[in-house]
Structure 1
Amino acid sequence: MSTAYVVVTVLAAVLAGFSAASLLLGAEWTVKPLVDYGVPRSWWPWLGAAKGAGAAGLLVGLLVPVIGALAAAGLVLYFLGAVATVVRARWFSHVAFPLVYAAPAAASLVLWF
């Protein structure tokens, strides 16, 4: 396991965990865009839980690598879904935000191989 993999994986876990916490705690700068994008409020706890599980999976993956790879893949898919939601809502200026969170998860997955 390389140092780059560990650093990128921990960064991805911190970002996903931060994103999960900000959603679950109802931070205005996180939930207001979800309202603007038309994401139903009933989905928010599930979305936050998915990000939190992905963050935990990345950290567990430092000990059980296949779990980390699956978590990274799941987070990449999650944030690509977020990009699709932003595009569907026609908020093109916001597309970069989910990509910021997807990039370290994708890098972690690439470094895993």
Structure 2
Amino acid sequence: MFAVYLTITLLAATLNGMAAIANVIGHDYPKSQADKLGVPRSWMRPLGMLLGTGALGLLAGIAVPVLGTLAASGLVLYFLGAFTVHLRAGDHHFAPWTLYFSLAVAALAVNLTCR
């Protein structure tokens, strides 16, 4: 079971870390999404920092389980907020959101199950 935990945690941390970097460096995709959803571009760096903190927390959770649980919970809440923003803006393209949200939920589930 630890192998499943490690695989899901590393995958979730990697994808969220890549998204965090894209937000922090100002890549075009997060900017275009922010414009489409009505989110101020000034929020991109702080949102990227939240994603990065979640990714690092997942990795730290391998050594300190409570950090992994808190990080995964925070990512689940982050993506629920993102879902709300998408609905508010009338955007119903949820494929990327589904991937990230599912990984956050899976990371939380395996963290709670394995630890």
Establish whether TM, by shorter chain, passes 0.5: yes
Task: Give me the TM-score of the superposition, normalised by structure 1.
Answer: 0.93
Q: Name the residue aligned to 1:25.
A: 25
| Cα separation, 1, equivalents of 2:2 and 2:77 | 24
1:59 aligns with 2:26: no
| Structure 1 residues 1-113: aligned runs within 5 Å | 2-92=2-92, 94-113=93-112
| Cα separation, 2, equivalents of 1:42 and 1:26 | 10
Q: Which consecutive unaligned segments of at least 5 residues does structure 2 have?
A: none
Per-residue deviation at 1:25?
1.4
* CA RMSD in angstroms, aligned pairs only: 1.1
Per-residue deviation at 1:38?
0.5
Tell me, yes or no, if the aligned pair for 2:30 and 2:44 is still in contact at 8 Å: no
Q: Please list every run of at least 4 consecutive aligned residues from structure 1 whose deviation after the TM superposition is greater than 2 angstroms.
A: none
Percent identity of the aligned residues? 44
State the aligned residue count.
112
Tell me, yes or no, if the aligned pair for 1:5 and 1:111 is still in contact at 8 Å: yes
94-103 or 57-66: bigger deviation: 94-103
Cα deviation, 1:67-90, whole Å, max 9, x if unaligned, reads 001000100110111111111100
Per-residue deviation at 1:96?
2.4
| Cα separation, 1, equivalents of 2:28 and 2:106 | 29
Per-residue deviation at 1:104?
1.2
Cα deviation, 1:8-60, whole Å, max 9, x if unaligned, reads 00100001101111111122122101111000122111101000000000000
Q: Which consecutive unaligned segments of at least 5 residues does structure 1 have?
A: none
